[in-house]
Chain A
Amino acid sequence: MTDIDGTSPPYLRNRYAIAGIGETTYQRGYAPGEERTTRSLATWAVGNAMADAGLTAADVDGMLSYSGNDSTFSPFVAGDLGIRLNFYMDCFGGGSSTEALIGIAMGVIEAGMCDTVAVFRSMNGFSQVRIGGTGARAAAPVSGDALHGRAYGWGSAGQMFAPTFMRHMYEYGTTPEQVAAVKVAHSRHASNNPKAFYRQRVTVDDVVNSRMVCKPLHLLDCCVETDNATCVIVTSAERARDMRQPLVTIRSVVGRCSKPRLDMHYQHGPITRVAGYYAKDILWPNAGVGPDEIDITGSYDAFTFTTMLQLEDYGFCAKGEGGDYVSSGIIELGGGRPNNTSGGHLCEGYTHGMSMVIENVRQLRHDIDDSCPAGPDGRRQHTYDYSEGGCRQVRDPELTANLGWAMPATGSALVMQKGW
């Protein structure tokens, strides 16, 4: 591997690792009597990540979480698991938080504040607080800054992002069919993911014929809302090397990098430009690699359009050519650079980004949890047959890039590497 810019400071390149990953099931509602609180979900996800890394409560001393006032807090989860914390913080935020908090975890460990940080996101995103603002929140009074937004029936993510998406179609001739290819690809990936909520493969026609939610977004251009928790454990590469799993290190991280005029970002165009335009200038020099060297992307798919826009602005294709890129087959398993091999938020489940990092950790460990048969050593023997119900392990990936999205004007990113 060669650095594209030998003069750039490497910062903490390859000195930190994702040592553990944990999830609950991805589900949409509960059977009566089976309901779980966000505290219970988080306790399961963090516990699963500790088990994955081979850690006990005494080995974890830091905790970070993010939420939109819809979740439990670190003290409850740490208490439930018997963890005594040297550091914790519960942050406000949704998409783009995962990568940002991984960066914060690296910083607090580097500062000597703690050694090993569990980062979690726990949400009853279907059963309790729905991200689109539906349910009881829809009828809440309009106040303060919302007079410039919700007063106009302009409040859900799809409604707020639509002007970016529409302008992209106008300026570059991007078609609904091209963008629908993102859902098609992710549905094919999900069909090989036993834990995905939506495992049925769909076609471009299925997407463009599904009901219109908010032009240009059909129902199938939008992600699913689910109940689940996820966790990643961050520690130094030195420590991670001695833990249970194959080493996956962090080459570069960007947290909530933003466009100008964040208060009302449409004032500062081009409005088809998203935060990745700025984030790429931190991500790639610090990683010492460029988009051409990335084997797998995890471009956040709150909507089909968000995947496409970020792939453009991070330089995986030229600006305006995202429609061609995502409909070329390259983002599918078996293609040159698959995106969201788990099925992502469009199909697997909605976790505000963390599940996409978890999937890429599994890819780099070469240990994807598909239906391939286990060999004599207990590990799956991947077939690389990507037909329905088959394999979803990419052959020997070395580098992945996660592109997290909060909104058009804010994003985060993470380049991970197999080994160091």
Chain B
Amino acid sequence: MSAMPQGTHLGMPVSIDDLDRENLAYFRSCAEGVFRLQRGRQSGLLRYPPTTACPWTGDREYDWVEVEPRGAVYSYAEVHHAIQPSFREHSPYLVLLVELDTQRGEPTEHEALRIVGNLVTADGALAPPEVVAQVGIGTRVRMVFNPVSDDIAIPQWTIDETVEQPVPWRYPE
């Protein structure tokens, strides 16, 4: 398999030819603007990230299901010292772990669909410092998509302006 870059994200070369078919379908769906996850036939449970088998049953049969791409920030990293050159001019930037409203606390109390993404503006640019400073644990967010190539996009998160925001928990300043 070659590893020639076939897309770009924030100026970084992205190679998609070593993605398995499940991940390829996932990112293609994102490019269509629809967030879909696999639902295992035996378990009836949605899973993230895409995998060949169901983490709860090992079942390899599944259906793609459209999922409401909204949730609350569960935890986060606020990166001040960027390592990848593409991120340096955007520091500090946030890596969010967002807990979806869908399937929260299932199949056991502490399990949930927790989706990774950066905090971005509504048009998909990495959030500027004054927006980063507003977001913490509890912030309500909705998904937007960053195109990587003609038919691949990755999910990102932006502040959900359609709901009343709780006061988030942030690292003490």
Nearest CB to that of B17 among chain A residues? A143
Instruction: Report Cα–Cα, A152/B126, bound state, in Å.
Output: 10
Nearest CB to that of A133 among chain B residues? B83
User: B116 and A149: CB pair below 8 A?
Assistant: yes
Nearest CB to that of B85 among chain A residues? A139
**9 shortest interchain CB distances as A-B pairs:** A162-B77, A269-B110, A163-B75, A143-B15, A215-B78, A141-B13, A153-B87, A167-B75, A212-B80
The reply on A7 being an interface residue by CB < 8 A is no
User: B118 and A166: CB pair below 8 A?
Assistant: no
For B110, what are the chain A residues with a Cβ–Cβ distance below 8 Å?
Answer: 268-270
User: A267 and B83: CB pair below 8 A?
Assistant: no
User: A141 and B83: CB pair below 8 A?
Assistant: no
What are 11 A-B pairs with beta-carbon distances under 8 A? Answer: A143-B3, A143-B14, A143-B19, A147-B19, A147-B148, A162-B95, A166-B76, A263-B49, A267-B47, A267-B114, A268-B110
Instruction: Report the interface size for chain A: residues with CB under 8 A from the other chain.
Output: 48
For A150, what are the chain B residues with a Cβ–Cβ distance below 8 Å?
Answer: 84
For A149, what are the chain B residues with a Cβ–Cβ distance below 8 Å?
Answer: 116
Residues B1-40 near A (CB distance < 8 A): 3, 5, 9, 12-19, 23, 27
Q: What is the number of contacts between chain A and chain B, taking CB atoms within 8 Å?
A: 149
Nearest CB to that of B47 among chain A residues? A267
Instruction: Report Cα–Cα, A263/B75, bound state, in Å.
Output: 18
Q: Which of A138, A162, A176, A213 contacts B85 (CB 8 A)?
A: A138
Instruction: Report Cα–Cα, A247/B51, bound state, in Å.
Output: 48
Q: Which of B3, B81, B116, B171 contacts A169 (CB 8 A)?
A: B171
Instruction: Report Cα–Cα, A162/B18, bound state, in Å.
Output: 28
Instruction: Report Cα–Cα, A150/B112, bound state, in Å.
Output: 22
Nearest CB to that of A166 among chain B residues? B75
User: A152 and B95: CB pair below 8 A?
Assistant: yes
Interface string of A375-391 (1 = CB under 8 A from B): 00000000000000000
Instruction: Report Cα–Cα, A225/B137, bound state, in Å.
Output: 31
The reply on A92 being an interface residue by CB < 8 A is no
The reply on A107 being an interface residue by CB < 8 A is no
For A33, what are the chain B residues with a Cβ–Cβ distance below 8 Å?
Answer: none
User: B77 and A154: CB pair below 8 A?
Assistant: yes
The reply on A56 being an interface residue by CB < 8 A is no
Instruction: Report Cα–Cα, A34/B57, bound state, in Å.
Output: 55
User: A261 and B80: CB pair below 8 A?
Assistant: no
For B12, what are the chain A residues with a Cβ–Cβ distance below 8 Å?
Answer: 139, 141-142, 151
For B15, what are the chain A residues with a Cβ–Cβ distance below 8 Å?
Answer: 141-144
The reply on B93 being an interface residue by CB < 8 A is yes
Instruction: Report the interface size for chain B: residues with CB under 8 A from the other chain.
Output: 50
User: A143 and B18: CB pair below 8 A?
Assistant: yes
A225: shortest Cβ distance to chain B, in Å?
13
For A170, what are the chain B residues with a Cβ–Cβ distance below 8 Å?
Answer: 75, 137, 169
Q: Which of A159, A261, A270 contacts B55 (CB 8 A)?
A: A261
User: A167 and B137: CB pair below 8 A?
Assistant: yes
Residues A19-53 near B (CB distance < 8 A): none
The reply on A148 being an interface residue by CB < 8 A is yes
For A261, what are the chain B residues with a Cβ–Cβ distance below 8 Å?
Answer: 55
Nearest CB to that of A262 among chain B residues? B55
Instruction: Report Cα–Cα, A139/B82, bound state, in Å.
Output: 12
User: A152 and B80: CB pair below 8 A?
Assistant: no
For A153, what are the chain B residues with a Cβ–Cβ distance below 8 Å?
Answer: 79, 82-84, 86-87, 93, 95, 118
Among B51, B82, B97, B118, chain A packs the most CB atoms within 10 A around the CB of B97
User: A214 and B79: CB pair below 8 A?
Assistant: yes
Residues B117-134 near A (CB distance < 8 A): 117-118
A159: shortest Cβ distance to chain B, in Å?
5
Instruction: Report Cα–Cα, A83/B5, bound state, in Å.
Output: 45
B73: shortest Cβ distance to chain A, in Å?
10
Instruction: Report Cα–Cα, A149/B148, bound state, in Å.
Output: 14
For B113, what are the chain A residues with a Cβ–Cβ distance below 8 Å?
Answer: 267
Given A147-B154, A214-B77, verify A141-B112 contact (CB < 8 Å).
no
Instruction: Report Cα–Cα, A8/B55, bound state, in Å.
Output: 31
The reply on A328 being an interface residue by CB < 8 A is no
A5: shortest Cβ distance to chain B, in Å?
28
For A2, what are the chain B residues with a Cβ–Cβ distance below 8 Å?
Answer: none
Q: Which of A144, A166, A271 contacts B77 (CB 8 A)?
A: A166
User: A142 and B169: CB pair below 8 A?
Assistant: no
The reply on B62 being an interface residue by CB < 8 A is no
